[in-house]
Amino acid sequence: MEFTFSKSAATQAAAYALRQAVFVEERGIDATVEFDDKDTDDRVYVVAYEQANLPLATLRLEPQADHVMRFGRVCTRQTYRGHGIGQQLLTVAEVWSAKHGYTTGLIHGEVTAQGFYERCGYQVIAGPYDEDGAPVVVMTKQF
């Protein structure tokens, strides 16, 4: 498994394609909600690849104040879920963030994914509340 951290057009395109498939097509989230003002040309995305042209999972790095890194738009291609790829992706993103001076991970995760994030060491600190039409909890983890 290869993990790419980049703000290049190719990495963004891979992240967007995964998000389109998972959030828009599979989950039914409106594309104008899924692709928001945080998707800028200078945004760093992480993409997991099994093969050079097959992105399997992605997340968006969203630096916050006080050494907090928010991991947003976390998703894995449907046929590859349950194989530990999402957990590997989150782990390498946490390591990368720690190397760049961040000490805490923050996730606004759908309630349906809460168990996954808890298995990755995150704890609920707020919610649930409605975000873009889905119940969400706020979770954190110290690195």
Least confident interval from 6-10, 36-40, 52-56, 74-78:
52-56
- What is the pLDDT of the chain when averaged over all its residues? 96
Cα 21 to Cα 107: distance, rounded to the nearest angstrom: 21
Sheet holding 54-63, edge to edge: 2-6, 45-51, 54-63, 68-76, 104-110, 134-142, 123-131
Extract the tokens encoding 25: 């097509």
What predicted TM-score, i.e. pTM, was given to this entire model?
Answer: 0.93
Residue 1 has a pLDDT of 93
User: pLDDT band at 134, cuts 50/70/90?
Assistant: confident
Residue 94 pLDDT: 98
**pLDDT tens profile 121-131:** 999 999 999 98
Return the CATH number of the domain spanning residue range 2-103. 3.40.630.30
Q: What is the mean pLDDT of residues 93-104?
A: 98
The predicted model gives 100-121 an average pLDDT of 96
